[in-house]
A and B are shown apart, each in its own frame.
Chain A
Amino acid sequence: MSREGNNGALATGHLSSAGLSALLAGNARVLLASHGTEGAQAAEEAAISICKTWPASSIHHLVIVPKSLWHGMTGDDWLNNGSTRNTFRRYVESTLQKEIDEHLSALSKKIERDGIDYTNQVVVGEPEASLIAAADRNRYDLVLMGSPRPKGRSGLKSRLRPEVLVKSLPIPLLIIPYPD
């Protein structure tokens, strides 16, 4: 199945008969890929809306920390000693952890307030591969994510490329348009 929605969202992948039944029966398991940016927040809202419509649904929230991006953050620094570089690495790690914790905590409160079953997982790896692996490993009915950041809008440029995902995801992918 591959179709383009009226609002620019794209859904693709093969919806199995079991998945279709799950959606129709109102117990869809949604895999939400979000890292808290504006585009991802739109996907979070959409996930909540969908799951509210199907009360027995659940959201599994996947946060991916792009490994190669943060791994390269010490760049070509050579003047510092090992201790300064280690302090920096530990600091970046703890900052990312803190930012993710804040994001997870805010989102879980929001989702649980609506009575939706919520679980989360943080993985360090390459964005597309990590999402595909998560979708392969567990039984989800739908992958939901925000659309790529439009040009001119600020934000990190490491992102999930839909063109890579559509080729490998075993389940439908729903992309929510970037908010105006």
Chain B
Amino acid sequence: MVYTKRNPALLIIGLIMVGIWAAAEFNLMQGYIAHLGGKKYKYASELTTIPLWFGVIAVVAGLWQMLGSHKDGNLDYYGSTIAGAMFILLIAMLVRWFIAPEVAVFSKTLGKVGNTGKYWHKLLGLNYVVIGILVGIIIVNVFRIPAWAQNGVRLSRLGLKTGVILLGTLYSAAELRNLGGLSIVMIGFFVLGSVGMVLWLGARRNIPNSMGGVLSAGMGVCGVSATVASAPVVQAKSVEIAYTIGTILLWGVGCMFLFPIIGNVLNMSHTQFGAWAGTGILNSAQVAGAALAYQPDGIETLKVAEIFNITRVLVLPIIVLWLAVWYVKREDTGENEKVNVGRVIFAKFPIFVLGFILLFALSTTGIFAPPLHYKGKYFDNTKPKTMLTAEEKKVLTDNAGKVKLKARKEALQRLIANGKIMSIEDDTQIRGLANSKVMGKKSGKILKKAHKAVRHTAKKIKAFRKWITWLFAFGLVGLGMQITVKSMRQAGGQPAVIGGIVGFVKASLSLVVVLFLISDKI
């Protein structure tokens, strides 16, 4: 079978991308950019690079698809995915650069909401991630995915997995240790708790073992992914699968919108929100969506949420194994069925987690940034960006008497003497001093400048952050295209009742735990 479709769509997509680049490069959309925020518009640099790269790829591939000869084989199969991938990418571009900023402009005209101090779009989390998923859902349900794009839409999963793998470069060992420990405790408690609760409620409401099994995995571990993994093991019936997946999708999409609103109202920190989303949202795709919805222009929340997702997916083979044993025992088929432990673990093991660990390990060797980097920033005073001027030194000397703490005083003296911060420890003291504002506004500015002069951003890490943002945006728009209203409409029956109870208890209880037990930073 030949998968490549002779269709001008990919070529047109490429031309649109190149058109966007040209309009930005030759200042043809200055007026529009001014309308979207002018100097505050954050994507000007992206507009003059990304659409050109991908536009050229799409034009070349589009010409090849239209004019080339295609034969059955790997080249044809993999080549046929380009159109769908570019289709998703174009939507992600349009949403990130134009639609979401347009929503923000409109939201600002409505003014701030009550005494929250936030605009509607901030409060509702209406940013490029959420809007992108919504656009994906609208496309698949209203217009249908065009035949030429269907093969490539599946690549969205690869985008998300690659994003998680690259995220491995952004964790410090301490962060990973602390977040890993926290997620194991939280996920362990809530996964086992919700699996147990579903099975208990199921037994009380007399649902079949197969339905209890598939529902407990879906509600307890990672939503649709767990349902997909466990349905064959517990021999779920077709209607049970449809009910469970419908309930999870409906609940997950609802949570993706509701969680960021609650997080904003409660002013949760990135760590708190990431941990809550990672525990309380049933479906793993919506965990990433909610995390990026809460913090669209940074990835601190995503970093926390994805550690929770990784913990969940690592728990999945264990839960599937346990359900297999549970089901065989409960059903007592008399056929002496044995569960092959090794086979289940091997088949369900998420290989992309190994990629994440590998990238993290490589990152700790200093291959991407000096080993002590934090969020891609590292200390290096051998090439300071600027040195203190004589005038700046005088301002600091005049105000030095206001500093009481010995360590800060000594660090300040070394800074004045050398014109630059001398060590990473001194940098910590100077940053603390600047934040304390004890030396006054002018001195504070000089201290911050001295701090920035010795803090460098690793170029590779910066690039990774950009790629991660795009990979998740791409992946989530594509996943939106796989959420059909037809599947969601199947939510019903006992799974809807049990899922509603367990989902609500899990979300509420994990919110309480996160608010009271997790500090702002890890």
**Could you list which residues of chain A lie within 8 angstroms of chain B, going by C-beta atoms?**
66, 68-70, 72-81, 83-85, 87-88, 91-92, 95-96, 99, 154-158
- Whether B284 sits at the interface, judged by CB under 8 Å, is yes
Residue of B nearest to A94 (CB): B232
A79–B313 touching, CB < 8 Å: yes
- Whether B285 sits at the interface, judged by CB under 8 Å, is yes
Using Cβ atoms and an 8 Å threshold, which residues of chain A touch B224?
74-77
**Could you list which residues of chain B lie within 8 angstroms of chain A, going by C-beta atoms?**
156-157, 160-161, 222-225, 227-229, 231-232, 235-239, 241-242, 245, 248-249, 252, 283-286, 309, 312-313, 316, 347-351, 475, 479-480, 482-484, 486-487, 489-490, 492-493
How many angstroms between the C-alpha atoms of A76 and B309 in the bound complex?
A: 14
Using Cβ atoms and an 8 Å threshold, which residues of chain B touch A85?
228
Using Cβ atoms and an 8 Å threshold, which residues of chain A touch B161?
78
Please tell me which one of the listed residues A72, A78, A95 contacts residue B238 in the complex, with CB atoms under 8 A apart. Answer: A95
Q: What is the distance, in angstroms, from B250's C-beta to the closest C-beta of chain A?
A: 11
Please tell me which one of the listed residues A73, A77, A87 contacts residue B225 in the complex, with CB atoms under 8 A apart. Answer: A77
Residue of A nearest to B237 (CB): A95
- Majority secondary structure, A binding face: helix
5 contacts between A and B (CB under 8 A): A69-B487, A72-B484, A84-B229, A95-B235, A157-B490
How many angstroms between the C-alpha atoms of A69 and B252 in the bound complex?
A: 18
A73–B487 touching, CB < 8 Å: yes
How many angstroms between the C-alpha atoms of A152 and B296 in the bound complex?
A: 41
Known: A75-B487, A83-B347, A156-B490. A88 touches B237 (CB 8 A): no
B492–A78 touching, CB < 8 Å: no
B242–A77 touching, CB < 8 Å: no
A72–B482 touching, CB < 8 Å: yes
- Majority secondary structure, B binding face: helix
Please tell me which one of the listed residues B286, B479, B486 contacts residue A72 in the complex, with CB atoms under 8 A apart. Answer: B486
Q: What is the distance, in angstroms, from B417's C-beta to the closest C-beta of chain A?
A: 55
How many angstroms between the C-alpha atoms of A58 and B220 in the bound complex?
A: 50
Using Cβ atoms and an 8 Å threshold, which residues of chain B touch A76?
224, 249, 252, 283, 285-286, 479-480, 482-483
How many angstroms between the C-alpha atoms of A70 and B489 in the bound complex?
A: 13
Q: What is the distance, in angstroms, from A93's C-beta to the closest C-beta of chain B?
A: 10
How many angstroms between the C-alpha atoms of A73 and B222 in the bound complex?
A: 15
Please tell me which one of the listed residues B239, B245, B479, B484 contacts residue A78 in the complex, with CB atoms under 8 A apart. Answer: B479
Q: What is the distance, in angstroms, from A37's C-beta to the closest C-beta of chain B?
A: 9
How many angstroms between the C-alpha atoms of A143 and B232 in the bound complex?
A: 36
Using Cβ atoms and an 8 Å threshold, which residues of chain B touch A66?
486
A154–B492 touching, CB < 8 Å: yes
A75–B231 touching, CB < 8 Å: no
Apart from A70-B238, A156-B239, what are 19 other A-B pairs with CB-CB below 8 Å? A66-B486, A69-B484, A74-B224, A74-B482, A75-B248, A75-B483, A76-B249, A76-B285, A77-B285, A79-B225, A79-B284, A79-B309, A80-B348, A84-B229, A87-B347, A99-B237, A154-B492, A156-B490, A157-B489
Using Cβ atoms and an 8 Å threshold, which residues of chain A touch B225?
77-80
A78–B285 touching, CB < 8 Å: yes
Using Cβ atoms and an 8 Å threshold, which residues of chain A touch B229?
80, 84, 88
Q: What is the distance, in angstroms, from A43's C-beta to the closest C-beta of chain B?
A: 19
Please tell me which one of the listed residues B227, B232, B235 contacts residue A87 in the complex, with CB atoms under 8 A apart. Answer: B232
Using Cβ atoms and an 8 Å threshold, which residues of chain B touch A158?
486, 489-490
Residue of B nearest to A78 (CB): B157
How many angstroms between the C-alpha atoms of A157 and B487 in the bound complex?
A: 9
B238–A96 touching, CB < 8 Å: yes
Known: A84-B347, A157-B492. A79 touches B222 (CB 8 A): yes
B249–A75 touching, CB < 8 Å: yes
B487–A72 touching, CB < 8 Å: yes
Q: What is the distance, in angstroms, from B361's C-beta to the closest C-beta of chain A?
A: 22
Using Cβ atoms and an 8 Å threshold, which residues of chain A touch B239?
155-156
